[in-house]
Structure 1
Amino acid sequence: MRKQPRQQRSRALVESLLDATLLCIAREGLNAATTARIARYAGISVGSLYQYFDRKEDLYAAVLNRFVDEMSTLINDQYARMPQATLSEFVREMLNAIWDFLERDEARYLHLSRYWNQMDSGRYLSALEHKMLMVISQVLLRHPPPQPVADVQVRTYVLVNGIMLTLIRYIAEPAPGISRDQLIDQFSNLAQWLIHAPQ
């Protein structure tokens, strides 16, 4: 970002640019989301956009950063409101909440997620992975398995990355005959199996 927005009006303009970026990607695709078109969606001149962002990739990065922040807040909120949940229950409710979040506001974040592989998204995916690993570890501390699990770190890693990679794949190219509910059921079952499976 070229210019740090310090005044409320400047911050509001930056937020409107991020909203415009999301809307442009959702309606026209990533390749169409040029600085000129994003500025048009935001109702400002390209010159005004360039006061804050040097190029479209900087806008994409800011949108991804906001996405990770909002997802982290959502995951924390789910953890806080489900103190009695088992890991399987938590995974089910968390994934339902994440899916609802992706589908709101014309499914803007859902469309954004279809282009993870075309953006420089590695560090943002790592941040989400870290957040999910931390929260799942906390769920297991609150409700430990009935028997000690020697390789629990490996199992939670498999669970989290299985969820993330499958969702990215499914969102980008939905599999015929496989529904959202079926996927969530399987991830909930996987969480149960990983914690209770034989060593």
Structure 2
Amino acid sequence: MPRKPQQARSRQTYDAIIQAAYIAIAKNGSESTTTRQIAEIAGIGVGSLYEYFENKQAILDALIEHFAQAIAAHVKALTPSLVRIPLTDAVYELTLKFAEFLKANDEQYLKCARSLMLHDNHTLLSPVYRALGELFTKHAIAHPEQLQLKNLPTVAYIFINSGVYSMTRYLSHPNPAFSFEELAQVLANMAGHYVAMELKAD
């Protein structure tokens, strides 16, 4: 049965497998990647790999969880600056910063995201949803007029989920018909226009 890494050396091996999975999937896609390929990149035997992961799906799940935690940490690092600017600008800036994050390290995250988004990973992406929820709440507190919105939790839910869905769908498309910047601008405008319209109606 696979073991959870406890000691520093075991943790290093576990992390090496995750990083190797990033490289293998970025190069070959999740469907074509094998545990043997991952083990070779990690510099270990395939038998050693199975000491930590039961199968390839277990590695993919751990990789998605690691990816989600990295995105959540990125959102949290951006939150202090984003809460100080208007909602439209904040959504646009967040989306573009997310694109920069994905394109780092020779687009390793982006290539993995395109492959992994083909799977149903919403449960494993929960850290991302939590970080975005915290950002929305802090932004509303910093801009008290937004607290006047009716059904604010519902608005936050729709903004966050529709934004994540739109970006994941975009990333999973091999040849999108528009740029990420255009996607960012439309998402930002939709959020800003909706809030302005609702506040004006009140």
TM-score normalised by structure 2 residue count: 0.89
Q: Partner amino acid for 2:15?
A: E
8 Å CA contact 1:145–1:195 kept in 2: the answer is no
8 Å CA contact 2:118–2:172 kept in 1: the answer is no
Q: For structure 1, list consecutive stretches of 5 or more residues without a partner in the other structure.
A: none
Distance 1:72 1:191 in 2: 21
8 Å CA contact 1:155–1:194 kept in 2: the answer is no
Shift of 1:85: 1.6
8 Å CA contact 2:133–2:156 kept in 1: the answer is yes
Shift of 1:123: 0.5
- Cα deviation, 1:113-139, whole Å, max 9, x if unaligned, reads 223454351212344223212211211
Aligned-pair identity (%) = 24
Shift of 1:153: 2.2
Q: Secondary structure at the match of 2:125?
A: helix
Shift of 1:102: 0.9
Q: For structure 2, list consecutive stretches of 5 or more residues without a partner in the other structure.
A: none
Q: Partner amino acid for 2:119?
A: M
Aligned residue for 1:142?
142
Shift of 1:91: 1.3
Distance 1:85 1:94 in 2: 11
Q: Secondary structure at the match of 1:4?
A: coil
Equivalent pairs counted in the alignment come to: 198
- Cα deviation, 1:73-129, whole Å, max 9, x if unaligned, reads 111110123442222222122111111111112222212222345435121234422
Aligned residue for 2:90?
90
Aligned residue for 1:192?
192
Q: Partner amino acid for 1:24?
A: A
Q: Tell me which moved more, 38-47 or 80-89.
A: 80-89
8 Å CA contact 1:159–1:190 kept in 2: the answer is no
Distance 1:40 1:25 in 2: 13
Q: Secondary structure at the match of 1:114?
A: helix
- Cα deviation, 1:130-161, whole Å, max 9, x if unaligned, reads 32122112111111236821122222222212
Aligned residue for 1:12?
12
